[in-house]
């Protein structure tokens, strides 16, 4: 499971003390860590109703989008994007996590009772391009609007 180890190291690298974070995270029965956004990545958080269709659109145009989280109940979907994106994002109804915010991140490859990976990180640092994500969101929203008309 070299890829899993690499993903853990990549995620933990943003913690104030990466070694302590990884040590605690690997032993945490909940399988989650609180990590700061804004260093290696920001997160754009879409309502679940828009998140899944957006991921479907992205998956048609990309071999592999960046990491994507979903919370329990599928109420929100978080797309990992380059740092600085949250500060510039103007989308209505989209929450952001950037510098100065922390997010709950599940241990890659381990199921938790709440937040889980839809697209786990592979450790390479791949992130979703925010412009492409915005286009995918528009296409997904248009599809949802069309469904509502039928």
Query: pLDDT for 16-70, tens place per residue?
Result: 999 999 988 888 888 889 999 999 999 999 998 999 999 999 999 988 899 999 9
- 73 domain-assigned: yes
> Token pair of 137, please?
């969101």
Could you tell me the two tokens for 101?
């915010």
Residue 14 · residue 40 · CB < 8 Å = yes
Q: What is the pLDDT of residue 1?
A: 41
| DSSP secondary structure string for all residues of 3-49 | HHHHHHHHHHTTSSSHHHHHHHHHH-TT-EEEEESSSS-EEEEEEHH
Helix 18-27 to helix 2-12 angle (10° resolution) is 130
Q: Is 1 inside any structural domain?
A: no
Residue 64 main-chain phi, psi, to 5 deg: -155, 115
pTM of whole model > 0.85?
yes
What is the span of the domain harbouring residue 128? 7-148
- Provide the number of structural domains found in the chain: 1
């Amino acid at each position: 499971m070299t890829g899993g180890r690499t993903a853990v190291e990549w995620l933990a690298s943003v913690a104030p003390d990466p070694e302590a974070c990884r040590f605690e995270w690997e032993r945490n029965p909940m399988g989650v860590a609180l990590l700061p956004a804004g260093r290696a990545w920001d997160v754009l958080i879409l309502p679940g109703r828009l998140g899944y269709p957006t991921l479907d659109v992205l998956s048609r145009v990309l071999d592999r989008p960046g990491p994507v989280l979903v919370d329990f109940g599928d109420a929100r979907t978080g797309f990992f994007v380059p740092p600085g994106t949250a500060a510039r994002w103007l989308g209505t109804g989209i929450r952001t996590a950037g510098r100065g915010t922390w997010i709950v991140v599940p241990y890659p490859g381990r199921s938790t009772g709440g937040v889980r990976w839809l697209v786990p990180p592979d450790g390479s640092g791949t992130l979703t391009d925010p412009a492409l994500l915005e286009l995918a969101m528009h296409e997904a929203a248009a599809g949802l609007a069309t469904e509502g008309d039928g």
